[in-house]
Structure 1
Amino acid sequence: MLRLLLALIAMLIRLISPALILSLALFLAACGSDDPSAEDRAQPTGQNDVPTVEIAVHNDGYEPAHIQLESGTTTRLIFTRKGESPCIEKVTIPDLGVDPVELPMNEPVAIEVTPESDGEFTFTCGMDMVGGTLMVQS
């Protein structure tokens, strides 16, 4: 009887350990830091010779939330609201002179910006609760 119990415990350990290790690895991979690595920073893609970044607006934030831009270059940011929260009905980029812009549900809204200097510029929802960062370098 003891042998059977020990064999059962050994079998459970072999089955649970890989699942536990996989779960822990997925959990750690999903956890990020506030400082985005190069992999987390969105790079503009070309669309009609204007660098373009598509940004999904969810109830809990922007995707991507960190975007790398080049100073002196006009970039088209296309925001598409996917969530229904009233908080995300507008977006603004105050440091670049962009006043709040309405974001209709599931309709892309293009905003063109030309940051003239290097630095980090915040874009936020109309209530200043959900935000992202434009990281500008020359």
Structure 2
Amino acid sequence: MTENTQEAKVEVAGGYKPNVVTLKKGIPAKISFTRTNDQGCLDVVHSKTLGFEEELPINVTKTVDIPTDKAGEFDFSCGMDMFFGKVVIE
């Protein structure tokens, strides 16, 4: 993380590791998701509140921009909404 951008990395393997990502409000942010096993519904990650949906091929990193204009807690989940993670903007 530099002063004008922030980035988090999330491993997708039987869930999200870490499953809570904390970001600072007002600083542009990205989260990079890397799926490392072929467990079913984790091949998609999405968040209606953060405005993204990405397919996650195995061992390919996908990076999404995260809006940081509002503080709060925002969920993301797999394609079937069985596994969840959270972005905390403070």
With structure 1 as the length reference, what TM-score do the two structures score?
0.61
Spell out structure 1 runs of 4+ moving beyond 2 A. none
**Cα contact 1:96–1:115 (8 A) shared by 2:** no
Partner residue, 2:75: 122
With structure 2 as the length reference, what TM-score do the two structures score?
0.90
Percentage of matched positions with identical amino acids: 30
Q: Secondary structure at the match of 1:87?
A: helix
For residues 83 and 28 of structure 2, what CA distance do their matches in structure 1 show?
24
Partner residue, 2:86: 133
Partner residue, 2:36: 82
The structure whose residues are more often strand, as a share, is 2
Query: Unpaired runs of 5+ in structure 1?
Result: 1-44
For residues 63 and 57 of structure 2, what CA distance do their matches in structure 1 show?
12
- Comparing both chains, which one has the higher relative contact order based on Cα–Cα distances under 8 Å and sequence gaps of 6 or more? 2
The alignment covers a number of residue pairs equal to: 89
Query: Unpaired runs of 5+ in structure 2?
Result: none
For residues 115 and 50 of structure 1, what CA distance do their matches in structure 2 show?
11
Partner residue, 1:113: 66
